[in-house]
Amino acid sequence: MQVLVRDNNVDQALRILKKKLQREGVFREMRLREAFEKPSIKKAREKAEAVSRQRKLARKQMQRDGLLPSKPKKTR
C-alpha cells in the first residue's frame, strides 16, 4: 500500500494511510490474529456477525420501505 507525502506533510499522509488500512480491514484482521481463536469460537463469532449484518440490512430495507421511521438527523 502506498501513500504519497505532499509538501512534507507527514501527518496528512499518516491519516490517509490509516483510513486506507481501516477500509481494507487490516486493523480488524490484526486484532483477530493477536491470539489463537478456537474453531468453535470462531464459528460462533462469524455466525453472530452474519446475524448482525442481516438484521442491519433488514432494518435499512424496512426504513426504505417506510415501515420504520428513519433516524432523526442531528443538528449542531
- Are 20 and 3 in contact by the 8 Å Cβ rule? The answer is yes
* Structural domain range at position 18: 1-35
* Same domain (yes/no): 4, 27: yes
- Dihedral sign (CA 22, 24, 28, 29): negative
Q: Does 16 score more than 90 pLDDT? A: yes
pLDDT at 1: 82
Given a contact cutoff of 8 angstroms between Cβ atoms, the answer to whether 36 and 28 are in contact is no
Identify the residue whose cell numbers are 462469524: 46
Same domain, 41 and 57: yes
Instruction: Specify the pLDDT at position 33.
Output: 94
Is residue 74 in a domain? Answer: no
Domain assignment present for residue 9? The answer is yes
pLDDT for the residue 70:
79
